[in-house]
């Protein structure tokens, strides 16, 4: 019998693209999609898939959210916090194990460099590292449980987070960030291709659970090449038909930028200063590792950053 595969949260960017690409790869009757707003998933041909409502911040909704699920793709809590995010992940994992989940694919993040590393200077990576360690601990306390950590490279679509929220529709002359744009780059990757690659990875696990080579391991899904922040900003200028340059500023200046600060408020606490640690991570090469795995899973070269951004703004050509 085919195992039952669950996805939570299933209606966001990574969740939705994984749902889209899981549906043709697995019997819909053996799929469980769990989301805060499961009705959003009806845009997909969900067939006999089970749709459930649950929210990371609603303990009661998680009590039975994973019942009947054998294999769970757990996507991280949408925040840049550390402690609260870690606690929510641990709580959901505990409920999943209590419901009988035997295997978890965890959607981590592509900081840290090579996937086997277990440290990062990026604040946003700390909750992921906590969760990766917790999953590993559970393999020793829960016989029969296993996992795969999927470190997702930085989404091409997330470039505003690293460019002081530059908008090609309303370009400015300077991107003010605490970085000079040179040095180690970023292996940008299209978000939907991360979902597609993860769906294919789960399919391969289901087809050969005993021979699956990524059991209790961490893998990295990245784009096909790295771009420095300077090259990234140059492409954004090309797409917007407006020359753009980087102006290096202090971390405090970046954190207090009125275009930046409101985007990093979680539970009424500002995290924009914490976010500046990502630029130090870039300097250390934490996002510069190119892995061939995503291309192998897709059966083609992953889409380049410039292509993804240009397609998002076709009328600017």
Cβ-proximal residues to 312 (8 Å cutoff; 6+ apart), any chain: 157
- What does the pLDDT read at residue 254? 98
Q: Which domains does the chain have, with CATH numbers?
A: 5-155+189-221 (3.40.50.720), 157-185+224-288+304-312 (3.90.25)
How far from the centroid of its chain's Cα atoms is residue 134's Cα? 18
Predicted model pTM: 0.97
pLDDT in tens, 174-213: 999 999 999 999 999 999 999 999 999 999 999 999 999 9
Of 40 and 317, more confident: 40
- Mean pLDDT score, 240-264: 96
Bond prior to 9 in cis (omega within 30° of 0)? yes
In percent, the amount of the chain with pLDDT more than 70 equals 100
**111-145 pLDDT per residue, tens:** 999 999 999 999 999 999 999 999 999 999 999 99
pLDDT of residue 105: 98
SS3 sequence, the chain?
Answer: CCCCEEEECCCCHHHHHHHHHHCCCCCHHHEEEEECCHHHHHHCCCCCCEEEECCCCCHHHHCCCCCCCCEEEEECCCCCCCHHHHHHHHHHHHHHHHCCCCEEEEEEECCCCCCCCCCCCCHHHHHHHHHHHHHHHHHHHCCCCEEEEEEECCEHHHHHHHCCCCCCCCCCCEEEECCCCCCCCECCECHHHHHHHHHHHHHHHHHCCCCCCCCCEEEEECCCCCECHHHHHHHHHHHHCCCCEEEECCHHHHHHCCCCHHHHEECCEECHHHHCHHHHHHHCCCCCCCCCHHHHHHCCCCCCHHHHHHHHCHHHC
Contacts of 274 (CB under 8 A, 6+ apart): 80, 123, 124, 264
The Cα 39–Cα 215 span in angstroms is 33
pLDDT at 239 over 70: yes
Q: What's the chain's average pLDDT?
A: 97
Share of the chain above pLDDT 90, in %: 97
pLDDT for 317 equals 67
| pLDDT confidence of residue 212 | 98
Residues with Cβ within 8 Å of 106's Cβ and at least 6 positions away in sequence, in order, are: 74, 76, 131, 132, 135, 147, 148, 149, 150
pLDDT of the residue at 314:
86
What's phi and psi for 179, nearest 5 deg? -165, 145
The predicted pLDDT at position 303 comes to 98
285: which residues sit within 8 A by CB, 6+ positions away? 113, 184
């Amino acid at each position: 019998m085919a195992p039952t595969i669950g996805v939570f949260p299933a209606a966001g960017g990574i969740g939705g693209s994984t749902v889209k690409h899981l549906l043709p790869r697995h019997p819909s009757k053996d799929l469980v999609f769990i989301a805060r707003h499961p009705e959003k998933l009806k845009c997909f041909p969900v067939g006999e898939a089970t749709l459930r409502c649950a929210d990371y911040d609603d303990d009661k909704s998680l009590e039975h959210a994973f019942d009947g699920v054998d294999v769970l793709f757990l996507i991280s809590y949408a925040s840049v916090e550390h402690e609260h995010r870690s606690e929510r992940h641990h709580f959901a994992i505990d409920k999943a194990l209590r419901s009988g989940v035997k295997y978890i694919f965890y959607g981590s993040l592509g900081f840290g460099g090579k996937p086997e590393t277990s440290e990062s200077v990026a604040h946003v990576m700390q909750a992921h590292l906590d969760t990766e360690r917790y999953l590993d601990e559970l393999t020793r306390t829960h016989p029969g449980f296993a996992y795969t950590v999927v470190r997702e490279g930085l989404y091409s679509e997330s470039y505003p987070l690293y460019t002081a929220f530059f908008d090609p529709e309303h370009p400015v002359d300077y991107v003010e960030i605490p970085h000079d744009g040179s040095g180690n780059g970023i292996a940008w990757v299209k978000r939907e291709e991360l979902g597609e690659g993860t769906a294919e990875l789960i399919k391969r696990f289901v087809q050969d659970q005993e021979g699956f080579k990524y059991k209790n391991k961490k893998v990295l899904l990245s784009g096909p090449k790295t771009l420095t922040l300077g090259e990234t900003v140059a492409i954004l200028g090309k797409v917007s038909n407006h020359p753009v340059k980087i102006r290096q500023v202090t971390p405090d200046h970046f954190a207090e930028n009125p275009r930046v600060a409101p985007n990093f408020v979680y539970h009424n606490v500002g995290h924009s200063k914490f976010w500046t640690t990502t630029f130090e991570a870039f300097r250390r090469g934490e996002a510069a590792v190119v892995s061939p795995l995503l291309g192998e899973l897709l059966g083609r070269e992953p889409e380049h950053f410039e292509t993804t951004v240009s397609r998002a703004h076709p009328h600017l050509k």
